[in-house]
Amino acid sequence: MAEQSNGYVNIGASFTEFKNFKKNIKCYIGDKDADMFLDYLKGLSESQDGFYFAYVVDEDKYLARNFWADTHSVTFATALVDHENDVSFIWVFKKFLDCMGNKEPQCILTDKDPAIKLGVCSVFKKVRHRYYMWHIMKKLTDKVGLQICKETDFVERICAFVWDTDLEPLEFKEKWSQVISDFELNNNTWLTYMYGKRHKWIRAYFRDLTLGCLLKTTQRSENKNSFFKRFESIDDTLVQFWLHFQSAMEQQRYNQKFLDVASDSALP
For residues 64-100, b (16+ Cβ closer than 10 Å) or e, as one string?
bbbbbbbeeeeeebbbbbeeeebbbbbbbbbbbbebe
pLDDT along the chain (268 residues), means of 10: 83 88 85 91 91 93 92 78 93 94 89 91 91 88 92 94 88 95 95 94 82 58 62 79 83 87 90
* 105 in a structural domain: yes
Contact of 202 with 170, CB cutoff 8 Å? no
Residue 132: predicted pLDDT? 85
* 190 in a structural domain: no
* 135 in a structural domain: no
| Structural domains in the chain (count) | 1
Residue 224: predicted pLDDT? 59
* 150 in a structural domain: no
* 175 in a structural domain: no
| Domain range for 90 | 48-130
Residue 148: predicted pLDDT? 92
Q: Measured between alpha carbons, how far is 19 from 24 in angstroms, rounded to an integer?
A: 9
Q: Measured between alpha carbons, how far is 219 from 203 in angstroms, rounded to an integer?
A: 16
Contact of 53 with 68, CB cutoff 8 Å? yes
* 244 in a structural domain: no
Residue 198's closest CA among 167, 219, 222? 167
Question: What contacts 96, CB < 8 A, 6 or more positions away?
Answer: 67, 69, 77
Overall pTM surpassing 0.85 (yes/no): no
* 36 in a structural domain: no
Run of H or E including 225: helix 219-229
133 burial (CB, 10 Å; 0-12 / 13-18 / 19+) is buried
Contact of 136 with 194, CB cutoff 8 Å? yes
Region of 30 on the Ramachandran plot (φ > 0 left; ψ -120 to 50 alpha; else beta): left
* 256 in a structural domain: no
Residue 222: predicted pLDDT? 53
